[in-house]
Amino acid sequence: MKYLAIYFLLCAAAASAQHSWTIGEEPFPKHVVDLPKQQRSAILLALQPSLLKIEKTFGLESNELINVRKNLRVMTIAVRSGELTIVHSEGPELCGASGNCAIWALDNNDRLILDQTGGAGLTILRASHSSLPDIEITVLESASETGITWYRYDGTRYRKSRCAVRSYDNSGKPHLRFYRCDADPSR
């Protein structure tokens, strides 16, 4: 019984651990094209409306859209309610010069719950709402400023819950400036 209690404590600690990645580096080990056909098809089907919107917005050619699909990377994370699938893009079609790339999240049923947003870093937070963990996405704004957006799951999709810009003074000390997520952060 004692060992069983220790096992459950270790599992709970592992489940609540915070995961953090910089987009473009491991551990996004899989390209979507390397997944089993059924899983690959489900992910691409979930992303299809967002990819079509991107195609129209950026005027992508059909060969560029094929490259976008080939360059999608996937990471599946175990969460209390099952799995959370994070998808991010690589390559010039959906990544800016500063390293911000498109990011999506899908639930257990391959439903899109975080539509395409840009970012260079992603952290799965310990806090959770409606059975899924909160997410923090960082965006490289400039050499001295990083945008930070916190997302909270509301039972149907992730919504922005807090937004800030992190900048540094001349001594290197960081400062956070919070703003309303629907407002322009430059004001």
Q: Which of 36, 85, 94 is nearest to 65 (CA)?
A: 94
- Label residues 116-134 b or e (16+ Cβ within 10 Å = b): bbbbbbbbbbeebeeebbb
- Residue 23: the pLDDT is 56
pTM: 0.81
Tens digit of pLDDT for each residue in 83-138?
999 998 888 888 888 888 899 999 999 999 999 788 988 888 988 888 899 999 99
The radius of gyration of the chain from alpha carbons, rounded to an integer in Å, stands at: 18
> What pLDDT does 40 receive?
93
Residues of the chain with pLDDT under 50: 1-17
